[in-house]
Amino acid sequence: MAMDRRSFVKAGGSAALGLAFGGCAPRFAAQGGAVLAPYIAPGQIPSVVYPVHISWERVIRTTVGLRPFRPSGFRLEAERFDEKTIVHNFGHGGTGWSLSWGTATLATEHAVDAAGDSEDRRAAVLGAGIVGLTSARLLQRRGFDVTVYAAALSPETTSNMSWAGFTPVSGLVRQRTPEWDAQFRRAVAISYREHQLLVARGYGVSWIDSYSPTNSAGSTGGGGNREADGAGDSPLMPEGAETGTIVLGPGRHPFSTKYCRVGVQMRYEPSIYLEAIMRDIIAFGGKFIVRKFDTPRDLMSLDESVIVNCTGLGSKALFGDSELMPIKGQLTVLVPQPEINYTMGSMIPRSDGIVLGHTQLPDDWSLEVNQEALIRTMENALRNFHPSIFRRTPRAAPPMRVVSAEPAWEMAKYAAASPPPVEHFFGLES
Ligand SMILES: Cc1cc2nc3c(=O)[nH]c(=O)nc-3n(C[C@H](O)[C@H](O)[C@H](O)COP(=O)(O)OP(=O)(O)OC[C@H]3O[C@@H](n4cnc5c(N)ncnc54)[C@H](O)[C@@H]3O)c2cc1C
Of all protein residues, the one whose alpha carbon is nearest to atom 38 of ligand 1 is: 314
Instruction: State whether the Cα torsion 349-353-356-360 is positive or negative.
Output: negative
Is residue 96 within 8 Å of 132, Cβ to Cβ?
A: no
Above 90 in pLDDT, residue 171?
Answer: no
How many A from CA of 98 to the centre of ligand 1? 12
pLDDT of residue 397: 45
pLDDT of residue 234: 67
pLDDT tens-digit map of 275-293: 999 999 999 999 999 999 9
Of all protein residues, the one whose alpha carbon is nearest to atom 7 of ligand 1 is: 164
Largest CA distance in the chain: 71
Is residue 199 within 8 Å of 166, Cβ to Cβ?
A: no
Q: Is residue 6 part of a domain?
A: no
Is residue 328 within 8 Å of 319, Cβ to Cβ?
A: no
Q: Is residue 33 part of a domain?
A: yes
Q: At what angle do helices 178-198 and 96-115 cross, to 10 degrees?
A: 110
pLDDT of residue 175: 84
pLDDT of residue 393: 57
Neighbours of 159 (CB within 10 A): 26
Rounded to 5 degrees, what angle do the CA atoms 119, 122, 123 make? 135
Average pLDDT score over the chain: 81
Q: Is residue 31 part of a domain?
A: yes
pLDDT tens-digit map of 52-97: 999 999 999 999 999 999 999 999 999 999 899 999 999 999 999 9
Of all protein residues, the one whose alpha carbon is nearest to atom 35 of ligand 1 is: 127
How many A from CA of 338 to the centre of ligand 1? 27
Which of the four pLDDT bands, split at 50, 70 and 90, describes residue 233? low
Of all protein residues, the one whose alpha carbon is nearest to atom 33 of ligand 1 is: 127
Q: Is residue 367 part of a domain?
A: yes
Give the C-alpha separation, 143 to 124, whole Å: 13
Cis ω for the linkage preceding 358 (within 30 of 0): yes
pLDDT of residue 240: 87
Higher pLDDT, 169 or 62: 62
Mutate to test the pocket of ligand 1, among 135, 157, 370 (most ligand atoms within 8 A of CB): 157
How many A from CA of 111 to the centre of ligand 1? 21
Read off the pLDDT of each residue in 300-319 and give the average, rounded to a whole number.
Answer: 97
Share of the chain above pLDDT 70, in %: 76
Single-letter amino acid code for the residue at 101: W
Q: Is residue 11 part of a domain?
A: no
pLDDT of residue 172: 62
Higher pLDDT, 408 or 390: 390
pLDDT of residue 46: 62
How many A from CA of 168 to the centre of ligand 1? 15
Rounded to 5 degrees, what angle do the CA atoms 19, 24, 27 make? 80
Distances (CA, A) of 367 to 18, 140, 161: 46, 34, 11
Q: Is residue 83 part of a domain?
A: yes
Query: Ligand 1: residues within 6 Å at CB?
Result: 65, 67-68, 90, 92-98, 126-132, 149-152, 157-159, 161-165, 167, 292-293, 310-314, 318, 329, 331, 357-358, 430
Sort strands 306-309 and 84-90 into parallel, antiparallel or unpaired.
Answer: parallel
Closest by CA to 381, choosing from 352, 351, 354, 350, is 354
- Considering its fold, how many domains does the chain have in total? 1
Mutate to test the pocket of ligand 1, among 97, 147, 225 (most ligand atoms within 8 A of CB): 97
Closest by CA to 31, choosing from 252, 247, 262, 251, is 247
Q: Is residue 15 part of a domain?
A: no
How many A from CA of 35 to the centre of ligand 1? 37
Rounded to 5 degrees, what angle do the CA atoms 309, 270, 296 make? 15
- Give the global pTM: 0.84
Read off the pLDDT of each residue in 96-125 and give the average, rounded to a whole number.
Answer: 97
Above 70 in pLDDT, residue 426?
Answer: no
Give the C-alpha separation, 26 to 415, whole Å: 39
How many A from CA of 367 to the centre of ligand 1? 14
What one-character DSSP code corresponds to residue 422?
Answer: T
pLDDT of residue 367: 97
- Pick the atom of ligand 1 nearest to 168's CA: 11
Read off the pLDDT of each residue in 41-60 and give the average, rounded to a whole number.
Answer: 78
How many A from CA of 51 to the centre of ligand 1? 31
pLDDT of residue 17: 32
Which domain, by its residues, includes 395?
Answer: 27-425
Above 90 in pLDDT, residue 143?
Answer: yes
Mark out the alpha helices in 23-90 (DSSP H runs).
Answer: none
- Of 25-29, 256-260, 349-353, 417-421, the one with minimum mean pLDDT is 25-29
Mutate to test the pocket of ligand 1, among 64, 92, 291 (most ligand atoms within 8 A of CB): 92
Q: Is residue 419 part of a domain?
A: yes
How many A from CA of 383 to the centre of ligand 1? 31
Most confident of 25-34, 246-255, 264-273: 264-273
Helices and strands: H and E segment counts in the chain: 10, 17
